[in-house]
Amino acid sequence: MKSFDAIVIGAGQAGPFLAARMIEKGMKVALIERKFLGGTCVNAGCMPTKTLVASARAAHVARNGATYGVTIPGEIAIDMRVVRARAETVTMNARNGLIGWFAGMDGMTVIYGHARFEGPKTVSVNGETLTAPRIFLNVGARPVIPDLPGVNEIDYLTSTSIIDLDTLPRHLAVIGGSYIGLEFAQMYRRFGAEVSVIEHGPKLASREDEDISDAIADVLRSEGIDIHTGASDIAFSKSSDGITVATDSARIDASHVLIATGRKPNTDDLGLDAAGVITDGRGFITVDDKLATNVDGIWALGDCNGHGAFTHTSYNDFEIAAANLLDSDDRKLSSRILAYALYIDPPLGRVGMTEKQARASGHKILISTRPMSRVGRASERGETKGFMKVIADAETKKILGAAILGIEGDEVIHGIIDAMNAGTTYPALQWSVPIHPTVSELIPTLLGDLKPV
């Protein structure tokens, strides 16, 4: 049996950084990863997908160059092998950077293999048994494949496998109208494929307010994407030239199908029962406000604990754990203000409560909206789709939440994220003097238009 001061299972966006901090403190750490360093973000999430989004945007801008007085003779062509190779390069650079970083750490032992608990303090991997007083789980999540008729008889794609696609689909059917599915839908439409989105629910991006959801749908429809919401009885069958996707109201002749109906935690084969670690009904590891499980000495970080499922929330889990365990601090999961983005173009930046949540919470709320068509920078760039929206508490003057669907919305939202984390009231933010011409300069104006509902 090999002994360590800590064992980290999973090399996503929390565990490795925590391991590095522990090594700085002179500890001996084992980092176990069953596949690739970097987790979902580096290998099958943010980095490769946003690289693909950038290629798709380049094609979109080129096709629309005449609007800006830029004429490009001939048809804009897409070389999917180059597109794929570019995304792979970005991933490999990041992964190899992590390999080099870990190799230079005295006290770090990186083990590739499938780890399983043998007890609350022991883990087996590759036929060896490891023990440590502290064990951290950062095992991530994977795509969920729903049990739909015919799904196991077709060659479907997931958000992981579609990244390796080096040919352009004739017609891509996306099953699932949430964040991952919508990003791939617009991306492949811009590459030149026909695209249909099939969503069981009544609207796209169901977490969002109805006005945001409708605006997202308008953006996608304006680029020629077919959207089928409220779809039931979804079934698949092979056809002579591809795959038939049938619903209660539509029949789609697709060449490829992307299943994007959510993700589930990679916790079902860790032997959690042997350690006594509790999970909820969906397989997420139950943690307290400091990310500790019900078993003393075991913590769960990142996607597998069900609190965020984003790279930045996973990294924040590392920050919480490191502050509490290594820096004698008192940081809590409940203090986190959730923020995220949807990377269609234009992007959606989101923080805090939706209008629906704010109304349900009992707050006396103020709301302000402003179309992007009234933003100078958006007009100058010829990108006026979307709108800004902010919700505030009428009594405390604190901002409760905001949504910015529009050009640079994923960046502009950070002004509001920072204000909310600092506890700044909206009247104070109104007196800032932003730079012109920017999208962010409209935040004080947006706040000045807050009205009761």
| b/e map 421-449, b = 16+ CB within 10 Å | eeebebeebeeeeeeeeebbbbbbebbee
Q: Is 436 a catalytic residue?
A: yes
Q: Is the dihedral of CA 444, 449, 452, 453 positive or negative?
A: negative
Location of structure tokens 């650079």: 93
**Is the dihedral angle over the CA atoms 81, 84, 90, 93 positive or is it negative?**
negative
Sign of CA dihedral 98, 100, 106, 110: positive
* Distance in angstroms (rounded) separating the CA atoms of residues 269 and 254: 34
The CA angle 33-38-43, to the nearest 5 degrees, is 105
Other Cβ atoms within 10 Å of 353 Cβ, number: 22
Are 387 and 378 in contact, with CB atoms under 8 Å apart?
Answer: no
Q: Which of 256, 312, 414, 436 is catalytic?
A: 436
Residue 127, number of CB atoms within 10 A of its CB: 6
Which residues share a beta bridge with 259? 175
Tokens 């002004």 belong to which residue?
A: 415
DSSP bridge pairs for 29: 6, 108
**Distance between CA atoms of 312 and 41, rounded to whole angstroms?**
10
Kindly give, in sequence order, each residue whose CB lies less than 8 Å from that of residue 230, ignoring residues fewer than 6 positions away.
199, 200, 201, 202, 249
CA distances from 45 to 29, 56, 180, 348 (A): 26, 16, 9, 17
Of 209, 263, 254, the residue nearest 228 (C-alpha): 254
1 contacts 129 by C-beta, under 8 angstroms: yes
Which two structure tokens, joined as six digits, stand for 270? 């860790």
Q: What are phi and psi of 334, to 5 degrees?
A: -70, -15
Contact call for residues 196 and 254 (beta carbons, < 8 A): yes
**What is the 8-class DSSP label of residue 387?**
E
Nearest to 299 by CA among 19, 109, 1: 19
Catalytic sites, residue numbers: 436
